[in-house]
Amino acid sequence: MCVNAPLDTPGGIIGVCRRKPVLEPESEPNMRVVVVGGVAGGMSAAARLRRRDEGAEIIVLERSKYVSFANCGLPYYVGGEIEDPAKLLLHTPQTLKAALNLDVRINSEVTEIDPAAHSVQVADTETGEAYTLTYDHLILSPGALASRPPIDGLDSPRVHTLRTVDDALALREASGTCAVVLGAGFIGIEAAEALAQRGFDTHLVEYAEHVLPPLEVEMATLVTQELRALGVRVHTGVAAQSIAHGDDRDSVTLSDGTELSADLIVLSTGVRPDTALAEAAGIETRGGYILVDDRGRTSAGDVYAVGDATVGRDHDRPVALAGPANRCGRLVADVIADAGHGDATARPIPRPQGTAIVRIGGLTAAMTGENRQALDAAGTRYFTVHTHANQHAGYFPGAKPVHILIHVGTDGQILGAQAVGADGVDRRIDVIATAMRAGLKAPDLIDLDLAYAPPYGQAKDPVNQTGMVAHNVLTGELILTGPDALTEDMPILDVRTMGEYTAGHMPNSLNIPHTQLRDRLDEVRTWVDESVGERPFVVMCAAGVRSWIGYRIVRAAGFNVTMLSGGIQTLRAWLGAKAEAVLVTGEGRA
């Protein structure tokens, strides 16, 4: 029932609606909920609210001309894998009206929020017409904007972003032969692959030392190799400094002096929350993000926020991903539907783990939880386990390694995990993400009863194996040296075959294959006496399996040893381009 002075709006006569019981049959709405932003978080909230409450009036205001579109699918349209752009539009205002009785208004930008008056100003982006809309509850899901670093010449018409349907349409239509993508995060990588697929000579420029900065370097090296295999030219550790506008092409100058010609430039250097509106309304923010509690409530009464524009009051970092936005939208709808009913069904919004995945050609990279940088910054004590087990039984055709790392707290807590490989990466990261959410510790991964048959996994799944290594460390049976701690002067006992050893080994190493080690312990003793001394030596192999056997043999013989985590596979990836300079070929000291 509307009780204040009505206002003329495109949707009819409106006013502030006082809430009535949800189940009371009536034609008047029991409350009005206004949603700002009609894509991931906003539309999830609106749809869930309707399912919870047939009597609410739900108005969704969307600035662009599309609602409920598949942002995550845009790069695949640019690359041509999705042919029909209509497939990216999951709903229209009409389908949403028919199915959910939502009042979805496109081309409708909210330009002002007045939390005290419980009202928003709305401007029609096509006609400029403006009107006031009051609400009982307001949900903000305005998302993020592409950040624009201070690069001279960024106003070139050849510079594109990839955030909206119109961006994707423009990129799909863009012609030429050479492209420069600035920023090698998720969207930059997807854009680079898409443009390379379309035949562009594509350069990918990243300011950080490696592509996909949230990944650890030993994982990111594999991604760089795959990008290069796709024909993408990767420049890391450099920034774009300026863009010179040309008649035929632009020229991008990098901080190392490199000049790159470009028919089109994709700016994907990160996002910033689209929160000027909320800030102007006095809603509390931190670092530009709207602060929300575990029910999605902002500092303003009856105003909720979800998605890329938010950060949890008790959380240290925002997470701009579709899953959390969708789920928070649903949770906030429950909070609103429950209001006055004692929070019957609403569940608290959990701390986001940042579980993310990306395809790079034939490779998949995925991660969950914290990375090394975040853990080091927080002063956390942890160790890292690297495994390279095959995604399925080695004897079954098509076996390929899933490179997994997990960061484990000294109390056994799984703090973060990453995986890269050609197959089976999604499953492993999802299992570990689930274990983390359930509060399982690293050794608990051993006990996970995962589906197995030779085409699908291993009787000891790669996830189980990762837990086993962590368990060995936590019980003190195994002392790991990470590739980050390995120095060129450290003594190494390399237990690979002579052939593997001669193809590349650490300079200060002794080679005794693991199958011969028990019979050649006197050689180890002589080597230790002559050149190792009191220092521990590091046992290494290709991937960590043989070195574990070797480590146990020499440790049982009383030597002071550690084991290289993940073997030379991890070390090579850690060293990246420096590997050839550090590793020695030839027989060395065998």
Residues forming contacts to ligand FAD in the complex (CB under 6 A) are 36-37, 39-42, 61-64, 71-72, 74-75, 109-110, 141-143, 162-163, 187, 274, 277, 307-309, 320-323, 325
Nearer to ligand FAD, 270 or 588 (CB): 270
Q: How many CB atoms lie within 10 A of CB 451?
A: 8
Shortest distance, position 64 Cβ to ligand FAD, whole Å? 4
CB–CB of 571/486 below 8 Å? yes
**Among 73, 64, 71, which residue's Cα sits nearest to residue 40?**
71
Shortest distance, position 295 Cβ to ligand FAD, whole Å? 17
**Residue 586 falls in which region: left (phi positive, over 0), alpha (psi -120 to 50) or beta:** left
Nearer to ligand FAD, 107 or 251 (CB): 107
Nearer to ligand FAD, 325 or 419 (CB): 325
CB–CB of 33/321 below 8 Å? no
Nearer to ligand FAD, 281 or 541 (CB): 281
Strand segments, DSSP code E, in 190-298 are 201-206, 233-236, 240-244, 250-254, 259-262, 264-267, 271-273, 285-286, 289-292
Nearer to ligand FAD, 123 or 227 (CB): 123
Nearer to ligand FAD, 141 or 481 (CB): 141
CB–CB of 249/159 below 8 Å? no
Structure tokens at 407: 């960061």
Shortest distance, position 145 Cβ to ligand FAD, whole Å? 8
Shortest distance, position 191 Cβ to ligand FAD, whole Å? 8
Shortest distance, position 4 Cβ to ligand FAD, whole Å? 23
Nearer to ligand FAD, 239 or 357 (CB): 357
**Packing angle of the helix pair 186-197, 165-173 (nearest 10 deg):** 30
Chain centroid offset of residue 17 CA:
41
Nearer to ligand FAD, 367 or 506 (CB): 367
Radius of gyration of the chain (CA): 28
Shortest distance, position 507 Cβ to ligand FAD, whole Å? 43
Cα(265)–Cα(179) distance, rounded to whole angstroms? 6
CB–CB of 493/516 below 8 Å? no
CB–CB of 212/364 below 8 Å? no
Nearer to ligand FAD, 66 or 383 (CB): 66
Strand segments, DSSP code E, in 56-209 are 57-61, 103-105, 108-114, 119-124, 130-134, 137-140, 144-146, 159-160, 178-182, 201-206
* 532 DSSP assignment: I
Nearer to ligand FAD, 113 or 571 (CB): 113
Give me the phi and psi of 480, to 5 degrees please. Answer: -95, 145
Shortest distance, position 307 Cβ to ligand FAD, whole Å? 2
Shortest distance, position 325 Cβ to ligand FAD, whole Å? 3
Give me the phi and psi of 285, to 5 degrees please. Answer: -130, 165
Shortest distance, position 202 Cβ to ligand FAD, whole Å? 16
Cα(462)–Cα(445) distance, rounded to whole angstroms? 10
Can you list the alpha helix ranges (DSSP code H) found in 285-413?
322-338, 372-377
Which residue type, as a one-letter code, is found at position 319?
Answer: V
Nearer to ligand FAD, 29 or 273 (CB): 273
Nearer to ligand FAD, 417 or 542 (CB): 417
Cα(50)–Cα(52) distance, rounded to whole angstroms? 5
Cα(421)–Cα(432) distance, rounded to whole angstroms? 16
Which residue type, as a one-letter code, is found at position 563?
Answer: M
Shortest distance, position 432 Cβ to ligand FAD, whole Å? 17
Cα atoms in the 13 Å half-sphere on the side-chain side of 202: 27
Shortest distance, position 154 Cβ to ligand FAD, whole Å? 18
Shortest distance, position 473 Cβ to ligand FAD, whole Å? 32
Cα(125)–Cα(132) distance, rounded to whole angstroms? 15
Cα(53)–Cα(383) distance, rounded to whole angstroms? 49
**Among 40, 37, 59, which residue's Cα sits nearest to residue 50?**
59
Which residues, in sequence order, are CB contacts of 217 under 8 Å at separation 6+? 209, 210, 573, 574, 576
Nearer to ligand FAD, 226 or 308 (CB): 308
Shortest distance, position 167 Cβ to ligand FAD, whole Å? 8
Shortest distance, position 311 Cβ to ligand FAD, whole Å? 12
Nearer to ligand FAD, 367 or 524 (CB): 367
**Among 164, 374, 169, 193, which residue's Cα sits nearest to residue 271?**
164
